[in-house]
Structure 1
Amino acid sequence: MTTALKIDFVSDVSCPWCAIGLAALELALTRLQGEVEAAVHFQPFELNPDMPSGGQDITEHLTQKYGSTPAQQAQIRDTIRQRGADVGFTFSPEGRGRIYNTFNAHRLLHWAGLAHPAQQLALKKALLQACHRDRQDMGADMVLLAAVQQAGLDVARAQAILASDEFAREVREREAFYTSHGIHSVPAVIVNNRHLISGGQPAGVFEQALRQIAAEPAQVAN
């Protein structure tokens, strides 16, 4: 018997651990085929909502934000690359180079979730690859539209969204909802509105947690 689960994946495009967590979650769901059928919805979270256009050098940003040294950052990048490789996600060996504002990426993801839910995952993955594999400017319309095209979505419609403030209010409301409910770091994987799995966990952790949740008595997931 297959158990249906609702999964809200709260994350930011600029977060490398979100790329790792998503790849690991996908791997876990593949292993759980026949046991679990999951509907995954991507929810917005901005690690740096005040990041200006043009972004900031990543070494400078991480030093200012966390107090880490370039040597420590290089070590973390090595760990991230290896964790990504373990679940099939490729990170650039040089890291991201710069960090950018991701609000428009979240607006496009919100649109995809409403109008084309079956393709929201493809857009999310295209955006993550553009950011972490290809080191592109995630605030640039051309980069975002290329991801839209890669995901098989309507580029003209996406261009119209970017030229307006469409879905800005909705994205901010969703961000406020999750932060007001205690989500202050990502990825945050919320299952059936009740269970929280925090961080870019290995696939085995996701697999075990989802199997345990699926075994619980049926709950209504609105």
Structure 2
Amino acid sequence: MKNLKIEYVHDIDCSWCPINYANLKTAIKALNDEVSVEIEFLPYEVKPNFKVEGEKISTHLMKLNGWNEQQHAEYRESLLRTAAQAGVKIDFSKRTHYYNTSLGHRLVHFASLSNKQAAMNELLIEGYFEKGLNPTKVDQLLELAARLDLDLGEAKQALTAQFQEPALVEKYQRARQITTRGVPALRINGKQVVIGTRPPEYFIDLLRNIET
């Protein structure tokens, strides 16, 4: 059995992060008898200067990429097709905005202290992409903490503290060591870096053949 440690760099509202993560999980499941994998989530904020109200997704992408409405529609269709292939649900009737995601990352880190970071990541994916959760809203994030039976007083303190915990700051720094080109990205056993979204077959081959 091969033991692997994967540092997974993601942002809460990045469309491709849950798709890539789903493909990675598919590969790990396929190699269940060959590899044992530990995943640590590292925070990366694509839009750190966004305010609480965020920005409409279509407006942001069209402005950022210089797209017209047709080009944006084609991108969205391609995204939804790729997401469906990975088993990821995105409901754009509810998921309408990009937001500042710093509090969402605080919540994932807080959950990691109870070994529940993967479960929290799943709840954030479901909440944001399927139900339109706003990750700047403390009350909405506390509802997720409650679903995992986390201490709500401690969770609120973590979300509302003036400064980030040193351990979370270190995670941000490590994420930037892995990628400055955006997310998703990951690093395996502190060595092999993969940036961008890959299919399950890619990860199966990589995890099976990587040297430890």
Q: 1:154 and 1:79 mapped to 2: Cα distance? A: 40
Structure 2 residue 33 is the aligned partner of structure 1 residue 30: no
% of aligned pairs identical? 28
- Please name the residue that 2:42 is paired with: 43
Deviations 1:160-182 (A, max 9, x none): 21221353554344323432454
Runs of 4+ with deviation above 4 angstroms: none
State whether residues 22 and 88 of structure 2, in contact with CA within 8 Å, keep that contact through their aligned partners in structure 1. Answer: yes
Please state how far the C-alpha of 1:150 moved relative to its aligned partner: 2.9
State whether residues 179 and 195 of structure 2, in contact with CA within 8 Å, keep that contact through their aligned partners in structure 1. Answer: no
Give the secondary-structure state (helix, strand or coil) at the position aligned to 1:7: strand
State whether residues 110 and 167 of structure 1, in contact with CA within 8 Å, keep that contact through their aligned partners in structure 2. Answer: no
Please state how far the C-alpha of 1:93 moved relative to its aligned partner: 4.4
- Please name the residue that 1:129 is paired with: 126
Structure 2 residue 164 is the aligned partner of structure 1 residue 167: yes
Deviations 1:119-177 (A, max 9, x none): 11010111111111112212111221122223343333211212213535543443234
Structure 2 residue 103 is the aligned partner of structure 1 residue 104: yes
Give the secondary-structure state (helix, strand or coil) at the position aligned to 1:178: helix
Give the secondary-structure state (helix, strand or coil) at the position aligned to 2:47: coil
- Please name the residue that 1:144 is paired with: 141
Q: TM-score, normalised by structure 2?
A: 0.91
Q: How does 1:79-118 map to 2 (within 5 A)?
A: 79-94=78-93, 96-113=95-112, 115-117=113-115
- Please name the residue that 1:205 is paired with: 202
State whether residues 12 and 124 of structure 2, in contact with CA within 8 Å, keep that contact through their aligned partners in structure 1. Answer: yes
Give the secondary-structure state (helix, strand or coil) at the position aligned to 1:5: strand
Give the secondary-structure state (helix, strand or coil) at the position aligned to 1:201: coil
Please state how far the C-alpha of 1:183 moved relative to its aligned partner: 3.1
Q: 1:74 and 1:132 mapped to 2: Cα distance? A: 18
What letter matches 2:73 in structure 1? A
Deviations 1:78-121 (A, max 9, x none): 222222221221111437311111001111111222x112x110
Structure 2 residue runs without a partner (length 5+): none
Structure 2 residue 15 is the aligned partner of structure 1 residue 16: yes
- Please name the residue that 1:52 is paired with: 51
Aligned residues: CA RMSD = 1.8
Give the secondary-structure state (helix, strand or coil) at the position aligned to 1:47: coil
Report the CA distance shift for 1:151/1:80 in structure 2 as closer, same or farther (over 3 A).
farther
Q: 2:30 and 2:9 mapped to 1: Cα distance? A: 22
Report the CA distance shift for 1:72/1:162 in structure 2 as closer, same or farther (over 3 A).
same
State whether residues 130 and 143 of structure 1, in contact with CA within 8 Å, keep that contact through their aligned partners in structure 2. Answer: no
Q: How does 1:148-159 map to 2 (within 5 A)?
A: 148-159=145-156
Please state how far the C-alpha of 1:70 moved relative to its aligned partner: 2.6
What letter matches 1:162 in structure 2? L
What letter matches 2:114 in structure 1? H
Q: TM-score, normalised by structure 1?
A: 0.88
